[in-house]
Amino acid sequence: MPIYRAPLDDFRFVLNEFLEVTKQTDLPGYADLSEDLLDDILTNAGKFCEEVLQPINQSGDEEGAHFENGAVRTPKGFKEAYKAYCEAGWGSLGASAKAGGSGLPMAVTMAVAEMAQSANQSFAMYPGLTGAAAGALAATGAPWMKEHVLPKMVSGEWAGTMCLTEPHCGTDLRLMKTKAVEQPDGTYKLSGTKIFISGGDQDLTDNIVHMVIAKIPDENGQIHNDLSTVNFFMVPKFLVSEDGKMGARNGVSTGGIEKKMGIKAQATCVLNFDEAVAWRLGPKPTAPKPGEKRSSSAGMAGMFGMMNAARLGVGVQGISIGEVAYQNGVAYAHERRVGHALTGPKEPDKPADLEIVHPDVRRMLLHCRAFIEGARAVAMWTTLNMAIAESSRPEKETASLLSDLMTPVIKAFFTDMGFEAANMAMQVYGGHGYIRDNGVEQFVRDGRINQTYEGANGVQAMDLVGRKLGRKGGAAPMALFSVINGWIVENEGNAEMARFVKPVKRGLDNLQQATMWLAQHGMQNPNDAGAGAVDYLRMMGIVVLGWMWGRMAKLSMEKLAAGGGNKPLYEAKIVSARYWMERMIPECPMLLERIQAGSETIMAFEKETV
């Protein structure tokens, strides 16, 4: 039977000691955040996840979501858990008070989301997607939607989804066929098919508010293979009047649920829209003037805002799956006996030593822990930058650049590493990890989707290299290099910090070289940028986590020197930091060499050679 314990000590370290979030009183949402309030939220959320969500994770996977007579039924226990989740207010922590929420900062909501996803990813996706949809509606919806629809989504009475992908069209939105035709009353009739819709149907809520992208035909009734007429729409499962009352069933039907590798308790649906009543979100598109090139519609802004929130959420799912898999791997390594320690038996009176004595087992577990805790710190630091970007602080522009740069890195690197961690934890079990009863194989299956949805990780890498690096004259990478280099200069005279500063400096040098190479060669041959993008994103992730580990190691050494506090945690932080410097930073020169190999060999691979 798998286990999960909320990592409360690490949350306290990152939020209270490392980032000192309760001192950020000038930032939006932080004014009333005290250590006592934060601890109360984390403790109770952790208890809820341990006692309510985790116990139905494995059973939910075994049973799966059901599709019967055109409707979806969630597994046993999910309806009761969802009701308890909403009554406790866990889904409304970050929403504004006006919409019925608590107005807490993302650092808090992200911590709660991480625990829920570790305990039960399939369940957590239902309210998680509602939160992303609610955020988009809050940003782009009409006043009546914000007054009547949004509060129901915040309370959990209604759910929300994101409807983007079509059978023939995933990332390339230009190829979409779903269309929305304007009606005399200002609404639209929306028709088309969307697939892979998480939470597309369920029996948890009275209504589901679908956030859909579709094309508006031009004046000749044509839709174009570009982004010029792509717009964002609210399409509820049941019609909603402007006073918030729910009416008849809309033209939305469930075609089925996907039979998937993992997250089986999550209803991933095919949705058919047959002249469904839709409300446009954002400004109406305008036709280009004669000779003017069609451009992305203004209505796309709401969709991209929702996508960015979802990408951060998926990145946190990478941490979540790594955390729960790691915990189970550690537990097993302290129970299973196999062989003797290489230096001689640790327990001579036993037939074999515990598995934890073996170096390779410790390597795998330390790899998991170093990623999880480093990534958690980077994610929380990014949420802080997002808050600073909305403040009046002088560094707001830099904070905005850094958070924007980190979004694809968090989504892709964290989910890649989270899957690595789940696989390593499963390997700790040996053959028993492959057996369903032990539960760890579920983490591998569930975690695999995180690398694919909300933009596959290769697409995230191309977003980083193709868009983020060159935007505003390269301001974002230069801001990152500057802040890391500033830390290096500040600490390179400290002998105790040498084992952390020198590796980060080497990694940063490699990252800067890779950036320059891509800037020079990517302009001449875009395939060179495409061939090196995934390696570049991984290198940036490694360097940023290395810098974060250097900072946390310094703080931990200072805490140990001062005495008091959580001594075992500080000591473990230093060990994890050393692991990252010794085992992960050395990947950087290898990644640089691969990037500089360019695209010639890759592009020489033709279908005829297969």
Q: Which residues are catalytic?
A: 454
- Spatial separation of the C-alpha atoms in residues 29 and 103, rounded to whole Å: 6
Q: How is residue 417 written in tokens?
A: 């590493």
**Long-range contacts, 438-444 (Cβ 8 Å, 24+):** 438/2, 438/332, 439/1, 439/2, 439/58, 439/328, 440/2, 440/325, 440/328, 440/329, 440/332, 442/2, 442/57, 442/58, 442/61, 442/262, 443/2, 443/321, 443/324, 443/325, 443/328, 444/262, 444/325, 444/419
- How far apart CA 115 and CA 124 sit, in angstroms, is 9
The SS3 call for residue 212 is: strand
Structure tokens at 178: 């779903």
Q: In Å, how far from its chain's centre is CA 286?
A: 34
128 Cβ neighbours under 8 A, 6+ residues apart: 113, 116, 117, 313
Which residues are paired to 162 by β-bridges? 211
Dihedral angle over CA of 85, 87, 93, 99, nearest 10: 130
- How many residues in the chain? 610
Residue with tokens 């050494």: 557
The candidate with the shortest Cα–Cα distance to 500, out of 580, 436, 565, 434, is 580
Q: Of all residues in the chain, what percent are helix, strand and coil, respectively (each to 5)?
A: 60, 10, 30
CB neighbours of residue 487 within 10 Å: 21
Residue 66: Cβ within 10 Å count:
13
- The angle, 0 to 180 degrees and rounded to 10, between the axes of the packed helices 300-333 and 440-448 is 160
Phi, psi of 515, rounded to the nearest 5 degrees = -65, -45
Radius of gyration of the chain (CA): 25
The CA angle 195-197-201, to the nearest 5 degrees, is: 115
Where does residue 503 rank: exposed (0-12), middle (13-18), buried (19+ CB within 10 A)? Answer: buried
